[in-house]
Structure 1
């Protein structure tokens, strides 16, 4: 019955379309690709004058009380991002940690917290529907399942505003990846080679009208190679293909589309850093033999994770799979008119599965200290894997020039099903009312998100050396006892006391009616919108406690390591069974002072339902499935914003002041403790652009002052600044276009921040520079060289330690060092 309800909305639109008149496709391609510089005048206005994401009706931005930004294909070619989260660093107001690889990024907007991982308060969308209903599913953040390639025409982002009411679970904002639809006949083939790294990528796209009323588009990418960091093997292997077909008719259109993503990329994890100085003024550096901007624990000498699966049966997982998302999706979008109403319906089914292997919890310490921790103090070390397997390590104190070992816990987690079924139908109509115009919108949104996944862990001892040459190490105690088995200390999170191994199988149903009204009279427009989300979660949860024994290698004898195996308690799983509902609203006013200038203000309150995070953090009573903390199901974000927008033929300027209060019920991955907090943030956001002659520049900056206003678990943190929250983030892109030549750079930076909520250890400021040179030998051919992080800046995005430890070695994350690519792009 639930599936029937989901499909009904999509079916109505498709069945009804031939009979009604309508408008141009909502996701139509942008204008044809820009001509070479010598054939065109400088841009006469901002690239995008209207906006369709997170709003009731696309309008000129000077008539809309929203804060928006967009990136088109040309912008992305210049930025040359290493991942989706790297791309989002170039959007004003967006805080994006792009250090983990292609996915698994942390994304937020305007001072809203990233207390855990993922994009809790920001929804990532493809063509107007969410990639995942919840953007912060543990180890399965939404950016893991989306790619930017030649089939994407534009990325639109709305910050705050009506995002609270025109999408579920998105009070901070919506970032929407819009596909090309073949409106403009032509195609693209682009090949990209790594000049200082072993990587190769091919992007392609082609779209065209088939007839006056039928068109199609197909595109995607394939890549293979090691990638930007030295891992010793081809960790990037896979690609994506997307296709859509659009049928237009008098009054509307219907579009069918599909996507297949199957991609493998490395997950880099935390790396060791040497820290000197004080907490307030630290100095970070790479340790001998290990470059924190280039190296990782991933290695050609460690290929297989061994442990038990969700049924407590023996399983193996290939470390080289890294982040391995598999997405098979199909959908339909239709627009038509009925009785004066413009009706739009979007329906999509996404079959989502895959896995992730990632080095997560790591202690980097001198070899004797690690040996002592695992019970091998005074014993011996032997290589367990690699070219030196079986060879004793004579002098551990000088191992690899740094004398360190890593006691590492690897996540090897399976996404059995993150399937998502979504339908969003809305109707909009405008009337003349008095001397003004009234626009009303009503809609209904329904989705069902599966979260069926298993967290498998293994604990290993590994040496610390770069170049993809790390090896597993066997530890033997002084009394001869073999502590490890082929480098494995235990088959579970043995280094963490046997915690963390768990399996969740739950379904989350969301139903949300919504509506809005907007009245425009003369220069003034006022509006309001409401959304009422009703959700239900049902399922089971099982976890492991402590250790049991399992003969992993089947030799009939239990080794010391095999006695540290984690088994799930499958006989009495916990229940998940609760309902929630929440009202979101937004009120706005916009005044167009002049054709080039407008003022706006908005007040919003949006809800964000919590999913698996409150299961893991024990906010669920597993005996009944209900909530232990009544308010844990939904966190709210209350926002006020106001500012002005200015636009002329050569200049664009937006300035917005904002204030936000956000609740967060979560799980802290740093220590496994629950989170129950209220945050407050205030600040100013700037976005601008200027073009004159051959010179152009765009820029954005966000100043934020954020505090922990309440903490129900650790009250002493009240008044502190949230970790990794910088006062200022900014991006600047100057460029020069001369005939067939373009030269420019993208500067993205942040001021310093605190490593943890305790506000002791500081993380330094940084600015990365992505430079680009483009040459057009002919009208159809573009040759370019892009340098990501040109000056090899040390850009630290996170540190786990709250203070400098006695040994001076901390766990941290960094952006990749300098990475240079050359590409050739042929348009036809």
Structure 2
């Protein structure tokens, strides 16, 4: 099904999802609709995501959460993954940037970066069809700003049948639609760091059933870590126009995002103590909570592009995202049926840039690459040409660049719902069809460079010269490719693939008195076609050629073996897949304030381009060489109780989840060096999710917690992993948001914590837990004016997101990704 077919279908129906968030401002009013800082009264929030019909949470057999605009203002984070850390059941690893986040749910494995089992939506449609496209994390193309009305999350339940590729759950970021007249302008600035931002939002009824909303943001600055240049640059604008009429509405909307941000990935740290109680420290002068890896001297380097032509890559683009999207959604009543449809086309592109220390060691270690008597010297900066004769630490870096040429997608979701009177009960039936076309046009390669670790935005490239004066490096580049050879040298690939998805679905729900019983089913069918270029196909050896990459008219040592793509020998991709998902549940409302539910679900997840690489694609058939790679099945059972009365609400859910996973994950050997590991396993997890809110007078306390017991049930490649705990899955994680409002002043804090987990699946090195406290204060000196101060991680906690080594290496060095240290932001907001 081509893009034109999807678009034509949307226009013929002229509809789009009903969602109860067609009136989302009723649940989350615009800024002018209430006094700044005023806590919203406790309410039965209607939940619309991943269900057939919007209902009170106490009437639904699902485990779900809602964050409204009041909640979002208290979080002290702006990233999508940072927001998700405040939803029970979600494991979201982030450095508070949008992208390079590993996200999972209910103990399902973090086998790769991205979000494999959890779908992220914007206004009810997926941002990307697949959440784990290599070097294209789904949150890279989504931003939170003042246009965001609320965040709805469903864990398990009917998520697998009301959306494709979402067997674990889904999270929907819902925009404002301008039901009430008013707007907000906010300016903010880092305190002690350079990052300035302006946000605006305005919406209003226009008369005759018309209303609109428009808003966005722009930001610029170095950011909270020292780079030596602006790491953040860009913003977005969103707008929608709605016409309401008797029996329905129609809405047109658009979005333009053009933003880049630094990639705060893994950096070197010291590690001592024992595996059970490691002591994480920093290299001299290199506190990675405040330091970045790039600098003005290392941001640019030479490489070859997707057409084997020399190119200069500017890694300052970091995680770059460009999205131009338009859509329509509508609702009509036709012959007793409520017909709804949502359609969106998104033109998506961007870039992924990373620089990871692959080997960190004293300078003499790297001289061996030039043979006996080789010399080291600086390749740029104020010390350019100066010899390095001591044992200062240097790092051999893996520079990774991915050109995300096109991740365009077109999606359409059409459904019809009707409520039937059956005896003393009500039967709700829904039938729908979802279509999607997802493109993946991208190219990525590796480069190996040598640099020092001066820090403070002063890191400089380092050259190696033989004893006879022959350059081994080009301006710090040791190899155009991966310096250590196969298998990494084949990681130089170009994809041109389309994923065409068709998914009919349906549900029934019967409610009689206090009892509601429901079930839903979905059948997903995908057709995959296109081609892949990779030097790893063919005779099984990487393809190299001499290329004058730096354009100086000579072929250097590094330029003598440059990986190039076999542009005349593409490998065709041509296969299809299908899977069935279903879910059934029961809910009983004992009283107005109390209900209980139980549910069992089976959902599928199709694999994206990670199954058409050189290790997995059969170049003769165009299909993955193992049919089991195509689909992962997630099974979940859950039961819970929900209580809400007065100012108190309490939700508790017990769950069990299992999946099979065939993937590749980046891990490390005993020395701490990274390598790619193929896995073929089954996993399971059981646990409890808790979420509650208490309000009394000026005081509010919101809390959530997740206890998880996860296991690798069976490893079909290496049985030694059987029974071990998957990496990065802690036993316990929690969040707290206490706040108090006294007249013109509101103050409180967001507290996030987790217990320790294992750094890798071998279950040796413990990854320390952490507690991050982020207080805020808001002062309203005049009507509509709010001055605020937010301090993320006020106690400067070392919060480790990821440790690379499986055990403490003999060198005492490994790589770690950490959250930012103390980061203070001041803001001035005017609501009118």
TM-score computed with the length of structure 1 as normaliser = 0.96
Counterpart CA distance in 2 for 1:770 and 1:420 is 37
Shift of 1:38: 8.8
Q: In the alignment, does 2:614 pair up with 1:622?
A: no
Shift of 1:774: 0.5
State the partner residue of 1:198.
Answer: 194
The one of 332, 342, 345 aligned to 2:341: 345
State the partner residue of 1:541.
Answer: 532
Shift of 1:490: 1.4
- Cα distance change, pair 35–355 in 1 and its aligned pair in 2 (3 A): closer
Alignment of 1:516-527 (within 5 A): 516-527=507-518
Q: In the alignment, does 2:612 pair up with 1:608?
A: no
State the partner residue of 1:491.
Answer: 480
Instruction: Answer whether contact 1:264 1:323 (CA < 8 A) is retained.
Output: yes
State the partner residue of 1:592.
Answer: 589
- Cα distance change, pair 226–15 in 1 and its aligned pair in 2 (3 A): closer
State the partner residue of 1:256.
Answer: 252
State the partner residue of 2:150.
Answer: 154
- Cα distance change, pair 698–27 in 1 and its aligned pair in 2 (3 A): closer
- Cα distance change, pair 24–301 in 1 and its aligned pair in 2 (3 A): closer
Counterpart CA distance in 1 for 2:47 and 2:629 is 34
Instruction: Answer whether contact 2:37 2:778 (CA < 8 A) is retained.
Output: no
Shift of 1:824: 0.5
State the partner residue of 1:727.
Answer: 731
Q: Which moved more, 1:383-392 or 1:130-139?
A: 383-392
Shift of 1:36: 11
Gaps of 5+ in 1: 398-402
Alignment of 1:144-543 (within 5 A): 144-360=140-356, 362-372=358-368, 374-376=369-371, 378-395=373-390, 397=391, 403-497=392-486, 498-543=489-534
Instruction: Answer whether contact 1:614 1:665 (CA < 8 A) is retained.
Output: no
State the partner residue of 1:50.
Answer: 46
Instruction: Answer whether contact 2:757 2:769 (CA < 8 A) is retained.
Output: yes
Counterpart CA distance in 2 for 1:391 and 1:24 is 63
- Cα distance change, pair 361–541 in 1 and its aligned pair in 2 (3 A): farther
Secondary structure, aligned partner of 1:706: strand
Q: Which moved more, 1:128-137 or 1:673-682?
A: 673-682
Secondary structure, aligned partner of 1:668: strand
Count residues in correspondence: 817
Shift of 1:5: 2.9
Q: Which moved more, 1:485-494 or 1:778-787?
A: 485-494
- Cα distance change, pair 43–99 in 1 and its aligned pair in 2 (3 A): closer
Counterpart CA distance in 1 for 2:411 and 2:38 is 43
Instruction: Answer whether contact 1:37 1:739 (CA < 8 A) is retained.
Output: no
Shift of 1:680: 0.5
State the partner residue of 1:661.
Answer: 658
Counterpart CA distance in 1 for 2:204 and 2:434 is 32
Shift of 1:100: 7.0
The one of 618, 627, 651 aligned to 2:648: 651
- Cα distance change, pair 16–813 in 1 and its aligned pair in 2 (3 A): closer
State the partner residue of 2:719.
Answer: 715
Counterpart CA distance in 2 for 1:340 and 1:606 is 31
Shift of 1:14: 2.2
Q: Which moved more, 1:643-652 or 1:302-311?
A: 302-311
The one of 771, 786, 811 aligned to 1:767: 771
Gaps of 5+ in 2: 536-541, 668-674
Alignment of 1:751-790 (within 5 A): 751-790=755-794
Deviations 1:401-447 (A, max 9, x none): xx211100111110111000000001111011011110000000000
Shift of 1:112: 1.1
- Cα distance change, pair 370–40 in 1 and its aligned pair in 2 (3 A): closer
Shift of 1:496: 4.8
Counterpart CA distance in 1 for 2:24 and 2:36 is 28
Q: In the alignment, does 2:732 pair up with 1:741?
A: no
- Cα distance change, pair 794–424 in 1 and its aligned pair in 2 (3 A): same
- Cα distance change, pair 630–177 in 1 and its aligned pair in 2 (3 A): same
Deviations 1:159-206 (A, max 9, x none): 110101000000111111111111111111000100011010000111
State the partner residue of 1:400.
Answer: none
Shift of 1:22: 12
Q: Which moved more, 1:478-487 or 1:577-586?
A: 478-487
Shift of 1:34: 7.2
Counterpart CA distance in 2 for 1:815 and 1:728 is 19
Q: Aligned Cα RMSD in Å? A: 2.0
TM-score computed with the length of structure 2 as normaliser = 0.95
Counterpart CA distance in 2 for 1:468 and 1:620 is 42
Q: In the alignment, does 2:583 pair up with 1:582?
A: no
- Cα distance change, pair 333–16 in 1 and its aligned pair in 2 (3 A): closer
Shift of 1:674: 2.3
Shift of 1:82: 4.1
Secondary structure, aligned partner of 1:551: coil
Counterpart CA distance in 1 for 2:28 and 2:552 is 67
Deviations 1:261-290 (A, max 9, x none): 000111122111101111122100111020
Instruction: Answer whether contact 1:127 1:179 (CA < 8 A) is retained.
Output: yes
Counterpart CA distance in 2 for 1:326 and 1:512 is 28
Counterpart CA distance in 1 for 2:753 and 2:20 is 42
Shift of 1:622: 1.7
Instruction: Answer whether contact 2:32 2:182 (CA < 8 A) is retained.
Output: no
